[in-house]
Amino acid sequence: MTASDAAQRALGTSGPAVSRLCLGTSSWSTARFGAGPIEALEWTLDRVAAGDRTVPTFIDTSNEYGGDASERFIGDALRRRGGLPEGVVIQSKLDRDRESGSFSFNRMYTSLLESTAKLGLAKLPLLYLHDPEHISWDDAFATDGPVRALVEMKERGLVGAIGISGGPAPMLLRYVETGLFDAVITHNRYTLVDRSAGGLLDESAARGVSVVNAAVYGGGALARWPAPAEKYAYRPASPVMAASIKAMGEACERAGTSLAAAALQFSTRDARVTSTIVGGNSMAQVQEAMAADIEAVPDELWAELESLVPPSDEWREAPGSSWP
């Protein structure tokens, strides 16, 4: 794979072109970074301005990330540049009220206004309903609920496209099957060692719904090898899961490549995945992800890695499971 191969993919059937790698901002908080600019963001935007399209031009954020600091960091960077650079696409998410947990219709509109004000954008190209696993299906689709609000935002032209972002793959699949959404974000469910979202990816591809895949390293376990995998997807790793990660790491080493590269390219090489979110906590982290995405991974290695996938009862959700 070359850098040019890694450049752009269409978002949905009529959306903008986005980069294979999406800059993740979920940990951008003032507690971690203070009040100054984010190095990774500044470097990325500077490279875009210089005409470099090998860097991520797709940025993922949320109204609640970093206690709302993530969107503020991005908005400040855009204002310093006089607006959104050409070719850069920003996606954000509608979030529930932090204190009450409300996903009400009115709360969703408040969330949208908070995001556009912080980002300094009149319209978002892509907006998701974030973590609806915290409410019931009936509440989500109530007349005063979040789905109606999100659909109305698209109908009114306040956002370009709409999506669903959450954890459980069966829940996301059920949302995709409604035919209302243009995109879906799944995390920790489509990795080298967990295929919970396989059916979700199939259905999304069949419907023309863009898949944005996050947490392909399972919270870091697949990026830190040869360090033992003590956790996977932010939970203690079972002996079976840890053994599988170890075996995959050793297979990659024998093949002359890194487990991190294989873990990332497992997602980016999949035609059903439009973009893969990678952490943007430092310029070095972004550059490492870019390098991992073009690192040589022998074709024959993929079959060996497939033989080392843990059994499905080790995944976050068993195949065929439903929601709720």
Digit-coded pLDDT (tens) for 240-282: 999 999 999 999 999 999 999 999 999 999 999 999 999 999 9
Q: How many CB atoms lie within 10 A of CB 179?
A: 8
Residue for token pair 């995109």: 183
Give me the pLDDT at residue 7, please: 63
Give every residue of the chain whose pLDDT is below 50, as ranges. Answer: 1-6
Q: How many CB atoms lie within 10 A of CB 239?
A: 8
123 neighbors 160 (Cβ within 8 angstroms): yes
Q: How far is CA 67 from CA 49, 264, 282, 319, in A?
A: 29, 28, 19, 35
Q: How far is CA 244 from CA 142, 236, 247, 254, 279, in A?
A: 43, 14, 5, 15, 24
Half-sphere exposure of 139 (CA within 13 A, CB side): 11
Bridge partners of residue 165, in order along the sequence: 130, 185
Query: How far apart, in whole angstroms, are the C-alpha atoms of residue 162 and residue 312?
Result: 31
Written as one letter, the residue type at 196 is S
Catalogue all structural domains in the chain, each as residue range(s) with its CATH number. 8-224+261-299 (3.20.20.100)
Query: How far apart, in whole angstroms, are the C-alpha atoms of residue 98 and residue 113?
Result: 16
Mapping DSSP to helix (H, G, I), strand (E, B) and coil, where does residue 166 land? strand
Q: Which two tokens stand for residue 40?
A: 């990774």
Query: How far apart, in whole angstroms, are the C-alpha atoms of residue 321 and residue 318?
Result: 6
Residue 147's closest CA among 170, 118, 171?
Answer: 171
> Whats the size of the chain, residue-wise?
324
Mapping DSSP to helix (H, G, I), strand (E, B) and coil, where does residue 156 land? coil
Q: How many CB atoms lie within 10 A of CB 252?
A: 24
State yes or no: cis peptide before 324, omega within 30 of 0.
yes
Query: How far apart, in whole angstroms, are the C-alpha atoms of residue 305 and residue 7?
Result: 26
End-to-end CA distance of the chain: 40
Q: Which two tokens stand for residue 19?
A: 């980069």
What 8-state DSSP symbol labels residue 312? G
User: Can you give the C-alpha Rg of the chain in angstroms?
Assistant: 19
